[in-house]
């Protein structure tokens, strides 16, 4: 299976079902709102409902904390409520965060914090007696591996001492534990090997939720390591029993491309597989589902009352520095000074080849279109008063890759596009070519292009993927409309 059900950086998926409805949440790191929540009735097509963290009283993120913030969540439904547990990796000593909601579209509660249970990837599971257990990837000395503690999920308080329940098969980083009660067994599904090319999924089982757990003789039960597949880094799975009684698994994977070692630019994405039970163990059926290609294109003129949940920011909440135009458009106010809280209104890149355009009015300020991996790996089309400049910033420098005078100061369309290059002399090159430019008064100006590998995770590191959007540099910039189209002819920037 090569197509994700959630393209773009939506990693660490967790899924649950209520009747015929499926719900899924992913990690979101330094971006706010955080922990996006999705809905589906067929596991194949998903609609974003919103985010579990959508107000500052729930979550304060460190500005510029690349790949910090909200790590892997677990989403469950119990006692007629939805439960989400996760870790703010920038404040991990505060404990894991438990949120609840009647409606997964929100509002979600303010978080309740657990005790300081050092580690990540917390899971909540209720046993046959209704007791709740927190199981997580523990870093505490003596408990290194998958640990578990009985917990009161309402208060967050531990109701016993943490215990190591499985150390995994011996591969690095046993993490992302999830538990399932199937017939007479409790199954513990984990990821191992690290979230890179060695990623895999292993399973163990026990007669009781707290073990002792015995690993499957054929672990890992799923991996793409050392395989010749366009889908790599496969791991971090969560199982769900389907409405018709079968089983499925969501998992994360990346789609690196280009010359070795391969570069993935859109982060780790969410994929879907089938699950069969054979001789008392889950077996992954990777190609069971025919995932439809997803139309990721949109044009947003900000005329709707509520902003689409697609918009995120790696800094302060969007509402704190934006305001809506009288009937359409959105005004972006630049941050005072040059603080780290880069104000960027952005969306995830979800395709290999794409075009994005921002129509901006800079009559009351200056601003830029930005493609960001993190604060040290980005490129921009900067609309100044009399010139438009294309920049590429790779720590520690920022390179000007093109400049043109700006005819007039009326609204201007800033654009970027990514194309997938053909191999040169049969040798693959970078994952894509990024071209930056602008269009104004009918003049279409390409400012320059560069090899997109420099804005890839293999170069920058981290857990996220590219986002594209608009950032105010000074004063107030009005974003009249933003359009994104995947894998088709560029919108309005044809030569
Ligand atoms: C996540 C861990 C992982 O918490 O990477 O894929 C970490 N696995 O389970 C960040 O995504």
Q: Is residue 384's pLDDT more than 70?
A: yes
Note whether residue 38 is domain-resident. yes
Say whether pLDDT at 443 is over 80: yes
Asked, as a colleague might, if the bond just before 228 is cis with ω within 30 of 0, I would say no
Boundaries of domain holding 393? 298-485
Q: Which atom of ligand 1 is nearest to the CA of 233?
A: 6
**477: CATH:** 2.60.120.200
Task: For residues 306-311, give the mean pLDDT.
Answer: 91
CA–centroid distance for 222 within its chain: 22
Which among 285, 314, 348 is the end of a domain?
Answer: 285
Percentage with pLDDT > 70 across the chain: 97
Instruction: Average the pLDDT over 138-166 and give the result.
Output: 96
Q: Cα(59) to centroid of ligand 1, in Å? A: 19
Closest-CA residue, ligand 1 atom 6, reads: 195
End-to-end CA distance of the chain: 36
280 and 302 inside one domain = no
| Domain edge (last residue) among 232, 253, 285 | 285
What average pLDDT does the chain have? 94
Lining ligand 1 with CB less than 6 A are 11-12, 27, 71-72, 120-121, 175-176, 191, 195, 235-236, 252, 463
> What gap in Å lies between CA 30 and CA 347, rounded to an integer?
14
Tens digit of each residue's pLDDT (9 = 90 or more) over 315-353: 888 999 999 978 889 999 998 876 555 799 999 999 999
Together in a domain, 354 and 220 = no
Task: Identify whether residues 465 and 414 lie together within a single domain.
Answer: yes
Q: Whose CA is closest to atom 1 on ligand 1?
A: 72
Residue 489 has pLDDT above 70, yes or no: no
Tell me, yes or no, whether 492 lies in a domain. Answer: no
Q: Are residues 326 and 208 in the same domain?
A: no
Task: Please tell me the predicted confidence (pLDDT) of residue 305.
Answer: 79
Please state whether the peptide bond connecting residue 119 to the residue before it is cis, i.e. omega within 30 degrees of 0. Answer: no
Note whether 89 and 223 are same-domain residues: yes
Q: Per-residue pLDDT for 494 more than 80?
A: no
Of the candidates 341, 473, 321, 338, the one whose C-alpha atom is nearest the C-alpha of residue 63 is 341
Predicted local confidence at residue 495, as pLDDT: 35
Q: What is the CA radius of gyration of the chain?
A: 23
Q: Is the domain of 51 the same as that of 195? A: yes
Is 7 domain-assigned? no
Distance 351 CA to ligand 1 centre (A): 22
Question: Do residues 239 and 388 share a domain?
Answer: no
pLDDT digits (tens, 9 = 90+) for 188-234: 999 999 999 999 999 999 999 999 999 999 999 999 999 999 999 99
Write down which residue in 251, 285, 319 finishes a domain: 285
Question: What Å distances lie between residue 326 and 305, 322, 332, 377, 475, CA to CA?
Answer: 11, 13, 14, 35, 19
Q: How many CB atoms lie within 10 A of CB 113?
A: 15
Number of domains in the chain: 2
Task: Identify the CATH number of the domain in which residue 111 sits.
Answer: 2.115.10.20
Residues 39 and 145 in one domain: yes
Best substitution site from 9, 11, 86, 237 to test ligand 1's pocket, by max atoms within 8 Å of Cβ?
A: 11
Q: How far is CA 482 from CA 274, 311, 320, in A?
A: 37, 11, 20
Residues 165-188 pLDDT 10s: 999 999 999 999 999 999 999 999
Determine, yes or no, domain membership for 428.
yes
Q: Is residue 31 pLDDT above 80, yes or no?
A: yes
Collapsing DSSP to helix, strand or coil, 14 comes out as: strand
Percent of the chain with pLDDT over 90: 86
pLDDT of residue 493 exceeding 80, the answer is no
Q: By three-state DSSP, how is residue 349 classified?
A: coil
In ligand 1, which atom is closest to the CA atom of 72?
A: 4
DSSP code at position 228? -
Catalytic residue numbers, as ranges: 12, 175
Q: How far is the CA of 198 from the centre of ligand 1 (A)?
A: 13
Judgement on whether residues 171 and 46 belong to the same structural domain of the protein: yes
In a domain, 80, yes or no: yes
How high is the pLDDT of residue 61?
85
Q: Does residue 9 form part of some domain?
A: no
Q: Both 21 and 143 in a single domain?
A: yes
Task: Please check whether residues 307 and 380 belong to one and the same domain.
Answer: yes
State mean pLDDT over 261-279: 97
Verdict on whether the full-model pTM lies above 0.85: yes
Provide the pLDDT confidence category of residue 442 given band limits of 50, 70 and 90: confident
Q: Does residue 1 belong to any structural domain of this protein? A: no
Q: What is the per-residue pLDDT for 488?
A: 58
| Same-domain pairing of 265 and 311 | no
Residue 1 has pLDDT above 70, yes or no: no
The answer to the question of residue 187 being in a domain is yes
């Amino acid at each position: 299976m090569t197509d994700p059900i959630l393209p773009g950086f939506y990693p660490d998926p967790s899924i649950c079902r209520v009747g015929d409805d499926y719900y899924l949440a992913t990690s979101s790191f330094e971006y706010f709102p955080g922990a996006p929540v999705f809905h589906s009735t067929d596991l194949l097509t998903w609609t974003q409902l919103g985010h579990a963290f959508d107000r500052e009283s729930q979550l304060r993120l460190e500005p510029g904390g690349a790949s910090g913030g909200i790590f892997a969540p677990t989403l469950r439904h119990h006692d007629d409520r939805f439960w989400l547990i996760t870790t703010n990796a920038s404040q991990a000593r505060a404990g894991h965060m438990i949120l609840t909601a009647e409606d997964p579209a929100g509002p979600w509660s303010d978080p309740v914090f657990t005790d300081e249970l050092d580690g990540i990837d917390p899971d909540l599971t209720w046993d046959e007696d209704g007791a709740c257990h927190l199981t997580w990837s523990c870093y505490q000395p003596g408990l290194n591996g998958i640990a578990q503690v009985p917990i009161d999920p309402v208060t967050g308080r531990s109701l016993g001492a943490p215990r190591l329940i499985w150390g995994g098969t011996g591969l690095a980083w046993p993490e992302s534990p999830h538990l399932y009660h199937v017939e007479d067994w409790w199954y513990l599904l984990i990821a191992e090997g690290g979230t890179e090319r060695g990623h895999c999924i292993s399973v163990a089982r026990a007669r009781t939720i707290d073990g002792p757990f015995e690993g499957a003789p054929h672990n890992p039960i799923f991996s793409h390591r050392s395989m010749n597949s366009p889908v790599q880094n496969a791991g971090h799975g969560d199982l769900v029993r389907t409405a018709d009684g079968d089983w499925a698994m969501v998992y994360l994977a990346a789609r690196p491309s280009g010359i070795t070692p391969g570069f993935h630019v859109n982060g780790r994405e969410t994929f879907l597989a089938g699950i069969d039970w054979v001789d008392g163990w889950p077996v992954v059926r990777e190609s069971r589902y025919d995932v439809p290609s997803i139309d990721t294109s949109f044009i947003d003129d900000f005329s709707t009352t509520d902003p689409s949940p697609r918009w995120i920011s790696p800094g302060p909440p969007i509402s704190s520095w934006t305001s809506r135009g009288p009937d359409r458009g959105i005004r972006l106010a630049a941050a005072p000074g040059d603080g780290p809280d880069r104000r960027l209104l952005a969306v995830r890149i979800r395709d290999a080849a794409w075009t994005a355009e921002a129509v901006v009015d800079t009559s009351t300020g200056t601003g830029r279109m930005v493609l960001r991996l993190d604060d040290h790996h980005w490129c921009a089309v900067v609309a100044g008063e009399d010139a438009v400049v294309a920049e590429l910033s790779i720590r520690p420098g920022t390179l000007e890759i093109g400049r043109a005078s700006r005819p007039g100061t009326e609204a201007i369309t800033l654009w970027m596009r990514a194309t997938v290059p053909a191999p040169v002399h049969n040798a693959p090159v970078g994952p894509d070519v990024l071209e930056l430019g602008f269009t104004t008064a009918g003049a279409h100006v390409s400012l320059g292009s560069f090899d997109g590998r420099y804005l890839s995770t293999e170069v920058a590191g981290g857990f996220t993927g590219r986002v594209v959007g608009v950032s105010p540099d000074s004063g107030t910039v009005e974003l009249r409309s933003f359009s994104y189209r995947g894998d088709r002819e560029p919108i309005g920037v044809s030569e």
